[in-house]
Amino acid sequence: MKPQFSEFTTSHKQVHSLLKACLSALLVQSTMATKIVILSLVFFLTLATSIEASKYQFQKLKETNMMFYMQDWETGANATATPVAGIPHKRWWILGFGTIFATDDKLTVATERNSSEIGRAHGIYVNSALDGSDLHLLMSLVFTNKEYNGSTLEIQGADRFYQKYREVSVVSGTGIFRLARGYATLETVYLDIPNSNAIIRWNVTVFHY
């Protein structure tokens, strides 16, 4: 059974609590006419939030699976990632603890750098392990292909890049992937540590409305 999300249910309850508190404060100091206006406003606001919540609660979740390659190149004429900060007097590179990289990596349909592009990976990753073996990813996958054009997936998680397979979380999305939840399995298919270049295969599974 596909998981069902509860964000709108929680948000709905929070809105009711906030409205109740505001209503109590206003009614204490209001005239009868003002009270009627306030009560009418609260009624319509409550109705609107209920409709918005119901719209998603009763929709079936869709499952989308996709596979693509991230071209992460930090050296060369067409570099798409670069270190922007790090520990003073230490080398800023992929194995350097505390090194922060900004990225605009191509997402392609095949391993070749000149293969068809379906989007870009915009964001940052940080070497967050003292032994240099772990990157923390925070990035938006921005799709430009016909099928998902303009939609995004938000990625967060630990990329233990020395492992053959590792998982990161899909924590949200926009467009076609609005309210997405899921995960991505990463596999490095090419790695050049001295030059900090890599090609990473992504297998993504997301549930969305």
72 within 8 A of 80, measured Cβ to Cβ: yes
Whether residue 1 is contained in a domain is answered as no
Single out the residue of 149, 138, 204 nearest to residue 174, CA to CA. Answer: 149
Whether residue 129 is contained in a domain is answered as yes
Q: Which helix (H) or strand (E) holds 13?
A: helix 7-28
CATH of the domain at 184: 2.40.480.10
Kindly state the tokens that stand for 13.
């309850």
pLDDT at residue 76 in the model:
84
> Parallel, antiparallel, or unpaired for β 81-85 and 135-143?
unpaired
What is d(CA 40, CA 44) in angstroms, rounded to the nearest whole number?
6
pLDDT (tens, 9 = 90+) of the chain, 209 residues, equals 444 444 444 455 565 566 566 556 555 555 666 656 656 665 656 655 555 545 555 578 899 999 999 999 998 888 999 999 999 999 998 889 999 999 999 999 999 999 999 999 999 999 999 998 999 999 999 999 999 999 999 999 999 988 989 999 999 999 999 999 999 999 999 999 888 899 999 999 999 98
Domain span at 168: 62-208
pLDDT at residue 86 in the model:
93
Amino acid at 98: G
pLDDT at residue 3 in the model:
43
| 149 and 186 inside one domain | yes
pLDDT at residue 38 in the model:
59
| 83 and 16 inside one domain | no
| 86 and 44 inside one domain | no
How many folded domains does the chain comprise? 2
What is d(CA 27, CA 122) in angstroms, rounded to the nearest whole number?
49
pLDDT at residue 12 in the model:
53
pLDDT at residue 55 in the model:
55
| 42 and 132 inside one domain | no
| 66 and 49 inside one domain | no
> Parallel, antiparallel, or unpaired for β 100-108 and 135-143?
unpaired
| 199 and 105 inside one domain | yes
202 within 8 A of 186, measured Cβ to Cβ: yes
Kindly state the tokens that stand for 87.
């520990």
| 116 and 41 inside one domain | no
